Structure 1
């Protein structure tokens, strides 16, 4: 599996995401890449004092992201609509962990 990245890819959730959810719906025109095969990209949800969650996006169809939740020692949690969703460089993306 290879990580793929994109500069300035950011959006917000348009629908709340439960802690068990694996499909995130974001505002379109976000700049996220489209993974193919075993490719994935790191998605960070949240910001500031509310904390963050790191996910892996393994599939993208338009504004729908399929996620593996709670990656890199973070916990899957519920996120309200309007939560920031961004590609950020993470240890797993950088070092292939």
Structure 2
């Protein structure tokens, strides 16, 4: 361990309501980091929420594109793998 001399070494072992000075400082740092993190992310979240949705037509077009992709995948898989014709 290091030989650091504290100005008031008796304060290192003081507990207030079951929380040591070390635990209090650690929790304070975590709380401050959370506040700064939320302040940093806040504008991006607001912008993302404020954007208008694409609407029903864009959602349906996306779903249709996924169906086409799924169909192409199964067609390719059936061509590459033998024995998947549905016969037991």
Shorter-chain TM-score bucket reads: under 0.3
Structure with max Cα Rg: 2
- Bigger proportion of residues as helix: 2
TM-score w.r.t. the length of structure 2 is 0.17
TM-score by length of 1: 0.16
More strand by share: 1
Higher relative contact order (CA 8 A, sep 6+): 1
